[in-house]
């Protein structure tokens, strides 16, 4: 379960992970592993919830597509890159290193 106090930070971390490598695209499984290695205790359902939030109406920071029954691929969209580069702010997403 996502710690409510950390939800904004974790969403920002997902965007940062998507921007660091892999042409802005990662599977939900890889995201889950990377976030848990960063010290979070997340489930597949938590990652799914994060992806839905970031792709949701009014956010549109990422897009994600179903790959198989258990895996989704998330892709960083231009608006997500704008947030990471400090050009915009989005409520509900904390990005401590944005614009650096």
Q: 10-35 pLDDT, tens per residue? A: 999 999 999 986 677 899 999 999 99
pLDDT of residue 95: 83
Regarding pTM above 0.85, the answer is yes
CA 55 – CA 53 distance, rounded (Å): 5
Contact 83, 94 (CB under 8 A): no
The pLDDT mean for the chain works out to 90
Three-class SS state of 100: coil
CA-based torsion, 22, 48, 1, 6: positive or negative: positive
Inside any domain, residue 18: yes
Give me the helices (H) in the chain, please: 7-20, 28-37, 44-55, 78-84
Inside any domain, residue 32: yes
| Contacts of residue 27, Cβ cutoff 8 Å, sequence gap at least 6 | 67, 71, 72, 73, 74
pLDDT at 87 over 70: yes
pLDDT at 47 over 70: yes
Residue 27's domain comprises 7-84
Q: How many domains does the chain have?
A: 1
Inside any domain, residue 93: no
Inside any domain, residue 13: yes
Contact 100, 17 (CB under 8 A): no
pLDDT tier, 5 (very low <50, low <70, confident <90, very high otherwise): confident
């Amino acid at each position: 379960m996502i710690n409510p106090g950390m939800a904004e930070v974790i969403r920002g971390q997902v965007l940062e992970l998507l921007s660091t490598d892999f042409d802005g695209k990662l599977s939900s499984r890889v995201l889950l592993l990377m976030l848990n290695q960063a010290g979070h205790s997340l489930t597949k359902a938590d990652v799914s919830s994060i992806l839905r939030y970031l792709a949701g109406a009014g956010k549109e920071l990422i897009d994600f597509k179903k790959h198989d029954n258990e895996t989704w691929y998330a892709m960083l969209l231009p608006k997500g890159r704008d947030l990471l580069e400090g050009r915009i702010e989005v409520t509900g997403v904390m990005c401590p290193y944005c614009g650096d």
